[in-house]
Amino acid sequence: MFKQQPTRRQLLIDSANGLGGIALASILHQQGLLASEKKPLRPVIDSSQPFGSRQPHFPARAKNVLMIFCSGACSQLDTFDYKPELIKRHGQPLPGAEKLVTFQGSQGNLTKSPWEFKPRGESGKMVSELVPMLGELADDMCFIHSLTGKTNTHGPGENFMSTGYTLDGFPSMGAWTTWALGTENQDLPAYVAIPDPRGTPQSSVNNWGPGFLPAAYQGTDFNASKPLRNLDRPKGLNASTDRKTRDFLQKLNRRHLQEFPNDSELSARIASYELAARMQLSVPEVSDLSTESKSTLHMYGADDTENTLKASYARNCILARRLVEEGVRFVQLFNGAYQTGGEGVSNWDGHKALETQYAKHGPVLDQPTAALLRDLKQRGLLSDTLVVWCTEFGRMPTFQAGASGRDHNPKGFTAWLAGAGVKAPFTYGATDEFGYKAVENVATVYDFHATILHLLGLDHERLSYYHNGIERRLTDVHGHVIEDILV
C-alpha cells in the first residue's frame, strides 16, 4: 500500500514533540525519577567481612539508629497528643460512634486523661504529667501525631512496626539497615536488641529477626541484667589457653577457606566465628556499668532502690548509650514485655485499669529515657544518631464499656524522632479533636520507615532483596519520605 510522505509541517511538529520528550527525560534523570533508574541497589558485601562498613546510596544525615519501642501500645492520649475537646466532652459519647465496637468489644464514653497536660520548653508543646522529664525535652523532639497502622492486634502490630509486615518471617528494620550499611565497629554486633528486663515483647524475636536476609544480620539480644549467652570461657580454661586455641582455629579456618575461595557461606561462617571470639572481650567491657560515675547512674535512675523496674530499665538505657558510643549501627531498646495472663502488668496494654497500670509504667519509662536523650546530646552523639520513639499502635479516646481502660486503635497514634537530620521542635500531622483518627498529613508506618532509611542515606524503593520471585523491601510497594520533618 502506498504510504503518504509526511508534510513539512508534520515533520516540524514531530520534531518538536521529540525534543520535548528529550527535555522531559533529562529533567526526570536529574531528579532520579526515570523508571529505569529505580532498579534495585543491593550492597556489595565482602563475604569474609559481612559487617564491614559500606557506603549509603547518598550522603546520610544519620550514621546509626537508636529505637525505643514501647511494647503494648502506649496511649498517645495520655502522653503526647493533647486534646482540649476530649477534656471538654469528658463523659459524653464519641460523636457518630455511639455503638462503636473495637478490638475487645463495645466502647463507653469519651474519657480524658487522668494526667494533666502542661506546656513545655520554649515551644510550649503540651505534654502529659505522666512523662514530665521527657516533657522537659520537647524542644528536642520531632512529633508525628498522624501515624496509622494495619492491625489492632499486638503481635502483628509489633511485626508491622519492626518489619513493615504483619506476618512473621520478614526482616526487621535493623536487619535491613545492617545488611545495607554494615557497621563501623568490627568487635561488636552491628545490630543489638535490648529486651525489657521483664522479658521479651509479644512478637518476641520477630522484632529483631533477619527474615529472608542472611542470618548474620539478625539482632543480637542481650541486656544489662542478662549478658550475652554462651560467651564466657568454659570453667578450667584460662585466658592464655583460650586465646591460643582460637588463634590455632583461625589458622585452620583460613587454610580451609583458601581451598574454597568462592564459597561465600563458608567465609561468612568463619567471619561470624571470629566476631564471636572478639565479642568475648568487647561485650563484657561495654556491658560493665561499674565504670559509670555515680552522677550518671543517678541521672538515669539506675541507683533507685525503691523502683527496681525503673533501675533495671535505666541500666538498659545506659547500655544503649554505650553501644551507640561504640559505633553499633542499630540499637533497639524495649520498654515493656509480654507475660501470659499478666495483661497490662508488664507493658503498656492499658485495657482494664489504665490509671493504675500507667502510674507504674510512666516512671519506669520517663526518667531513664529522658536521661538517655540528655546524655546523647551532652556527649555530642545526637549529631550522628537518630533516636526513634514508637509503639505498635495507639489507644481509643473512649474507655471500654464496663472497664477503666482504652482499647486498641491503629487509626491514629504518635511517634517522635530526635537527633540527626530532623527538625526540632516540630510537630507533624494531627488526629481529630478527640484523638481517634489521623486527619492531617496522614502518615503510614511505611512512610515512617521510608523516612528513617532516607536519613541513613538509603533509598527505600531501591534497597531490595530478591526472595521467592519477588523484589522485597522494608516498605513493600508503599511509602513516601516525610520531607516536611527533615532539616
Looking at residue 16, what is its pLDDT?
A: 64
C-alpha cell at 196: 525489657
Buried b (16+ CB within 10 A) or exposed e, 415-435: bbbbbbbbebbbbbbbbbebb
Which of left, alpha, beta for 469 (phi over 0: left; psi -120 to 50: alpha)?
left
Cβ atoms of residues 151 and 410 within 8 Å: yes
Looking at residue 345, what is its pLDDT?
A: 60
As a whole number of angstroms, the distance between CA 375 and CA 388 comes to 15
Of residues 204 and 250, the one with the higher pLDDT is 204
Fold (CATH) for 64-229+290-485: Alkaline Phosphatase, subunit A (3.40.720)
How confident is the model over 402-437, as pLDDT tens digits? Answer: 999 999 999 999 999 999 999 999 999 999 999 999
- 171, pLDDT greater than 60: yes
User: Can you tell me the mean pLDDT for 132-159?
Assistant: 98
Q: Which residues pair with 70 in a beta bridge?
A: 335, 391
Buried b (16+ CB within 10 A) or exposed e, 69-99: bbbbbbbbbbbbbbbeebeebeeeebeebee
Cβ atoms of residues 135 and 128 within 8 Å: yes
Q: Which residues pair with 125 in a beta bridge?
A: 120
As a whole number of angstroms, the distance between CA 21 and CA 27 comes to 10
As a whole number of angstroms, the distance between CA 216 and CA 190 comes to 9
Looking at residue 22, what is its pLDDT?
A: 64
Q: Where are the alpha helices (DSSP H) in 288-328?
A: 294-300, 308-325
- 3, pLDDT greater than 60: no
Looking at residue 251, what is its pLDDT?
A: 83
Task: Give the list of residues 6+ apart from residue 452 with CB closer than 8 angstroms, or none.
Answer: 65, 173, 386, 388
> Which long-range CB contacts under 8 A does 278-284 form with residues at least 24 apart?
278/186, 278/187, 279/187, 279/188, 279/189, 279/228, 279/231, 280/231, 280/232, 280/233, 280/242, 281/187, 282/187, 282/188, 282/326, 283/188, 283/222, 283/227, 283/228, 283/231, 284/227, 284/231
The SS3 assignment for 38 reads helix
pTM for this entry? 0.88
- 262, pLDDT greater than 80: no
How confident is the model over 334-351, as pLDDT tens digits? Answer: 999 987 554 446 899 999
User: Can you tell me the mean pLDDT for 103-130?
Assistant: 96
Looking at residue 175, what is its pLDDT?
A: 98
Pairing status of strand 426-428 against strand 105-110: unpaired
